Amino acid sequence: MIERRPLLGFLWPHTAPGPLDHDARQDRWLRIPPRGPWRWALLVALSLAWISALPSALIALFVAPSFYALALAVAVLLPTGALLLRGWVAGTYVSDRGVKVLRILSTTFISWDDVVDVRAESTRRGWLGTPIPIATQAIALDTPEELVSTTITSVGPDLWLRPQAWDACADRFRLWWRETRD
């Protein structure tokens, strides 16, 4: 069954919820954890830089139309804008159906039925996405096929330098898994 909803359809409740509260399903994807201050600062700064580069490229394109100006606009600014938009939505999302891990260049969906265990593992990851490895904690989903890593790490831009937020996020994720696995 295909359900069509308006553009801002997430603002309205499901059209026909079940008679009991436990029959209603969560169709909306919730981001765990919410965007942190470091992610906001980084994305706002990058968005402002991109927005300030866009008019100069358009002026160069209209003032002196050439192959190089067009190449700059198409080959640099459009992919950069697309990656920047993807950066705004990157993260780990949960719903009653499962977990969706959105990275800049890939998306992974895992149904709650496939998740055997949710655990916090100590690992070495890049600090704030850079190749500088540091010890960190990360939420991982244990499935029958493989161990799936999420974007929830203690050194990510959402939880960096916020240990209480890391603990709350890990507890919230485990609670969501326990509530939806039956």
Q: What is the pLDDT of residue 16?
A: 55
Q: What is the pLDDT of residue 29?
A: 87
Domain ranges for the chain: 30-182
* Beta carbons of 36 and 162 less than 8 angstroms apart: yes
Give 10-residue mean pLDDT values along the chain (182 residues).
49 55 67 89 94 86 81 85 90 89 88 89 78 87 88 86 89 89 68
Nearest residue to 25 via CA among 33, 35, 14, 34: 14
Burial profile 9-43: b = 16 or more Cβ within 10 angstroms, e = fewer: eeeeeeeeeeeeeeeeeeeebebbbeebebbeebb
Q: What is the pLDDT of residue 13?
A: 56
